[in-house]
Amino acid sequence: MKSNKGFIELRNVSDYWRKLNFDYAKLKENDNDIYLAFNFFVTAYHLIDWIFEGKHSKERSELNGKSLIKICNHIVTGIKHFEPDPKRHNSVVEMEKERYVEEGFVEEGFFEDPIIIYLNEKLKLEYGESIKVMDLAQRIMEFWKAELNRRSLI
């Protein structure tokens, strides 16, 4: 009988890292696609679960306190629960597609509609008032690559 751990070929941290790279590559192909952004952020945030195998620890809490992880957590919680708890998730002020014309006025894809994430006062000092989804995704990839290398997981 095969192991029930993971999901088919997604069984360990390096498998999940490959999935994050896959999601990132797809997002780079079309960084205006909210579905691809959704996939990327969900994978990026939940990589922490794979590192710690679902267990809670002081080390996990410290990693969860990193600004990029907090932003991911806020976005993912908002996706999952429709609206994040403002007491726990206050990294992101707003997310939107920057539109040149009103939605539905022209055919989808005619204009670039970048996904913009507006950050709280504290994070503005680190990343600016707002950040495009690809700029944030690139920073997240660099963060995870360094973190996983430091832990000798990839």
| pLDDT value, residue 128 | 86
Count CB neighbours of 5 within 10 A: 9
**Residue 120 CA: distances (Å) to CA of 41, 51, 72:** 18, 28, 14
Determine what percent of the chain is predicted with pLDDT higher than 70: 71
Q: What are the domain boundaries of the chain?
A: 13-150
Which one, of 33, 19, 47, 27, lies nearest residue 137 by Cα? 27
d(CA 39, CA 106): 26
| pLDDT value, residue 83 | 55
| pLDDT value, residue 105 | 52
Q: Indicate the helix (H) or strand (E) that contains 94.
A: strand 92-97
pTM (global) more than 0.75? yes
Place of tokens 């590192």: 51
Count CB neighbours of 123 within 10 A: 22
| pLDDT value, residue 75 | 84
| pLDDT value, residue 99 | 47
| pLDDT value, residue 79 | 53
In tens, the pLDDT along 17-63 reads 999 999 999 999 999 898 999 999 999 999 998 899 878 899 999 99
Give me 136's structure tokens: 């944030």
d(CA 85, CA 6): 29
